[in-house]
Amino acid sequence: MPVITLPDGSQKSFDQPVTVATVAGSIGAGLFKAALAGRVDGKLVDTSYLLDHDATLEIVTDRHPAALEVLRHSTAHLLAQAVQSLFPDAQVTIGPVIEDGFFYDFAYKRPFTPEDLVAIEAKMHEFAAADLPVERRVMEREAAVEFFKGLGEHYKAEIIASIPSNEPISLYGQGGWVDLCRGPHVPSTGKLRAFKLMKVAGAYWRGDSRNEMLQRIYGTAWINDKDLKDYLHRLEEAEKRDHRRLGRELDFFHMQEEAPGAVFWHPKGWQVFQALIGYMRAKQKAAGYEEVNAPEMMDRSLWEASGHWEKFGENMYTTQTPDERVYAIKPMNCPGHVQIFKQGLRSHHDLPIRFAEFGKVHRYEPSGALHGLMRVRAFTQDDAHVFITEEQITDESVKIIQLLLDIYRDFGFDDVQVKFSDRPPKRVGDDEIWTRSEQALQDAARAAGLDFTLNPGEGAFYGPKLEFVLRDAIGRDWQCGTLQVDLNLPGRLGATYIDEHSQRRVPVMLHRAIFGSLERFLGILIEHHAGRLPTWLSPVQAVVMNITDRQDAYVKQVCDFLKNQGLSVSADLRNEKVGFKIRAHTLQRVPYLLVAGDKEVAANLVSVRTRSGKDLGTMTPQTFVERLRIELESRGRQTLED
């Protein structure tokens, strides 16, 4: 009879098989009521799951990390039940959990309308209030196919055919409604309290454009109403901060159909883009990197040798010349940097060798995945590759990690999460090399004092990696930087150095990106700061304005002085009221607004206010420069307002 081991190490013995719910009840009535699911020997299961053997058990309540997954999965079923209750002819297909919510795909004769979503959500609340028991049953494969065909659910019958033969066919029902699902689910619909339907979109069956178009209803679900309200507020904030809208309003960039996934940079946006490059160039130079530049298009044979053609070929842009040679536009920079390393004889005394490039790369992304600066087809990487001996992995990786974190702090990102990704299913190199690589990278992360979580199977095809995830001002996470240990690619491409015993050895190569994509990083910055970029990054740091035309000459003089001090400044001498001009430049997120009237001219002063509306009083142009320099040198950690 089963002995159940609980998370605190205590054990409970039972005289007969028991369900997860029974174990919860034996601990306490409160836990029985709060139980949403269980985790048995690491596997997530229903509370009705029968324990007939010794096992470890966690009771999943709303405080458990797995709670949201179970709630969202169950809310997807609630959605499908409501749709079929209101629209009996609708067929349900698949309904997975996604980040922050869930969706369900439906086949129906007409498009769902916003009014339909309101009615569906109301019906979902009705079913939740009814606290319908959720029950699981297992059917024979052929019986399940016939069952769903009898309901007119032909998509479900097709799904069953794709389920591996060794997996059970499980069905979940609530209130007379039944769906095919592997679970687990909450014990009753009354556990589902905080949810909202968000939108309807089109989606191809099985994600294949050759198949029929379905309707996808998206929803979100949370533990409680407060969490739901907070999430909806974040969405509202995210909409206000949308970099695509702000990019137009601030005249930074635009995109158009003739160049899908590519950016048309306007002068102000390009100035910010170049400021990012200038900043990173200075940081890299101080850290011992040498800047290089490799061709954007190289022969297919090089990409075959590197392994990219096999693993990444479908995402590469290619062209064929009249002599029938096939070239690929580079999707990444590493093979080019290896070619530069190979020129000349390298000694172990030369290592580390650090190559950096602001390399333009092209990768094919499906049109539906494109999203402003965040997901593009043509972008610039702050890419670097460091060639080292195996003994140097830890020391050099620690230096890179410290550089990464220092740079993120300069941009206002102090909350950085780190994930360790190990070997993926499709990879190059033997397991012994992968084991050494993974151990070396984990040792380096620990030596740098990093806490990291595991991200199993998500490493690059040539080596494990650390991923650096930045949390922005409204709590969203953005994966940006990466550090990868590569004991495979240099050898595949014939890179060697001479060791201390005069023997040829293959170097280790560290792949490193900090911004990742400059386009995406700028998009993140725009949204993080809601367009109010730090003064040191702003394309216009200050505007000098007159009140009447009597101050025109003085405004020009002040503007010229500030420009000569290296500031990015413009003059606004328009025949408009000064309040109108202040508002216009505030909307353009200009950090400092300088106004000169007759009194300021007479005293050689300017009146200074910030884009947030704070009046800093009057000061001489020289004083303004001196105080602003402190802000610029501190990367905005100290402002004139301080």
Residue type, 424: P
Backbone angles phi, psi at 104, to 5 degrees: -140, 135
Is 511 a catalytic site residue? yes
**Exposed, middle or buried: residue 357 (CB in 10 Å: 0-12, 13-18, 19+)?**
buried
- Contact, 509 vs 387, CB < 8 A? yes
Using CA atoms, how far apart are residues 240 and 149, in angstroms rounded to an integer?
47
Choose the catalytic residue: 196, 268, 362, 385.
385
Burial of residue 331 (number of CB atoms within 10 Å: 0-12, 13-18, 19+): middle
CA distance linking residue 191 with residue 131, whole number of Å: 8
Distance of CA 208 to the CA centre of its chain: 24
Distance CA 271, CA 376 (A): 20
Q: Give 514: exposed, middle or buried? Use CB within 10 Å, 0-12, 13-18, 19+.
A: buried
H/E stretch holding 69 reads helix 67-86
Query: Residue 133 in contact with residue 74, Cβ under 8 Å?
Result: no
Q: Are 345 and 368 in contact (CB under 8 A)?
A: no
For 489, other C-beta atoms within 10 Å of its C-beta total 27
Cα 162 to Cα 156, 159, 393, 491, 566, distances in angstroms: 10, 5, 45, 40, 65
Active site residue 385: yes
Pure H helices in 87-136: 114-129
Local structure of residue 274 (DSSP, 8 states): H
Count H helices, E strands: the chain?
A: 20, 35
- 250 near 589, Cβ under 8 Å? yes
Question: Which of the residues 185, 241, 465, 512 is marked catalytic?
Answer: 465
Calpha distance 154→145 (Å, rounded): 9
Is 363 one of the catalytic residues?
Answer: yes
Known catalytic residue: 383?
yes
Secondary structure (H, E, C), 327-381: EEECCCCHHHHHHHHCCCCCEHHHCCEEEEEEEEEECCCCHHHCECCCECCEEEE
For residue 11, the cross-strand partners are 5
Q: Which residue has the tokens 């904030």?
A: 237
381 is catalytic: yes
Can 465 be counted among the known catalytic residues? yes
Radius of gyration of the chain (CA): 30
Instruction: From the candidates 156, 193, 334, 354, give the one annotated as an active-site residue.
Output: 334
Annotated catalytic residue, options 337, 505, 511, 589: 511
Residue of 81, 91, 215, 381 marked catalytic? 381
The active-site residue out of 116, 383, 422, 486 is 383
Which member of 266, 342, 363, 609 is catalytic?
363
Catalytic residues: 334, 363, 381, 383, 385, 465, 511
